[in-house]
Amino acid sequence: MDLRPPRNRADRRAVTWWTVQGLIGAAVAAVAVGVPYVLFTDRPLWLAAVAAGFVAALLALALVWPRAYYRLSRWEVTDEAVYTCSGWLFRSWRIAPMSRIQTVDTVRGPLQRLFGLSDVTVTTASSAGAIKIEGLDHALAAGLAERLTEITQRTPGDAT
């Protein structure tokens, strides 16, 4: 049987959320690079060029990565399993049968609340770790967590 990509994507607002996170990270890195440059060096021009290039690369990454991640990440839940697919250079396909699910959690950070988003984390008896479905509408995430809980309760198995 060939694997087909899972059907669902993150909420479109997640692109903005991931972009803001990246820009905040780039700003912190710019301060971390800029302050020591100004305070503790004789300010050679080549070092300024390296620092500026580093910050520019971080800014470009903050603007490009969220859009690529949105296009390449998918998720789906059926009565039998949770499916995720993500990655660019290294594609990761994860399938968690309902009988292996141990916990279902939702997470909302401060920025996620601002954008009305949540993440759903499905913990399984797997050495690969939990499956994380990121950037979902909060109501959808809450409904998904409830649905997964109902399905796992009626699925035979010991989740180990």
Domain assignment of residue 94, yes or no: yes
116 shares a domain with 64:
no
Asked whether 55 and 33 are in contact (CB, 8 A), the reply is yes
Could you tell me if 48 and 34 are in contact, meaning their C-beta atoms sit under 8 angstroms apart?
no
Cα Dmax for the chain: 68
Residue 89 covered by a domain: yes
Residues 85 and 46 in one domain: no
Residue 24 lies in a domain: yes
Range of the domain at 63: 13-70
CATH (domain of 115): 2.30.29.210
Give the count of domains, the chain: 2
* pLDDT tens profile 131-157: 999 999 999 999 999 999 999 988 877
User: In terms of domains, do 61 and 83 share one?
Assistant: no
89 and 59 belong to one structural domain: no
- Predicted confidence at residue 77, as pLDDT, reads 95
- Number of neighbours of residue 101 by Cβ within 10 angstroms: 23
How high is the pLDDT of residue 66? 96
The more confidently predicted of residues 87 and 118 is 118
Those residues whose C-beta lies under 8 Å from the C-beta of residue 133, and which sit 6 or more positions away, are: 10, 75, 82, 84, 119, 120, 121, 122, 141, 144
Interval 7-46: pLDDT, tens: 999 999 999 999 999 999 999 999 999 888 888 778 888 8
Q: Report pTM.
A: 0.86
* Terminal CA-CA length for the chain: 25
Residues 98 and 123 in one domain: yes
Q: Do 94 and 57 lie in a common domain?
A: no
Q: Are residue 58 and residue 106 in the same domain, yes or no?
A: no
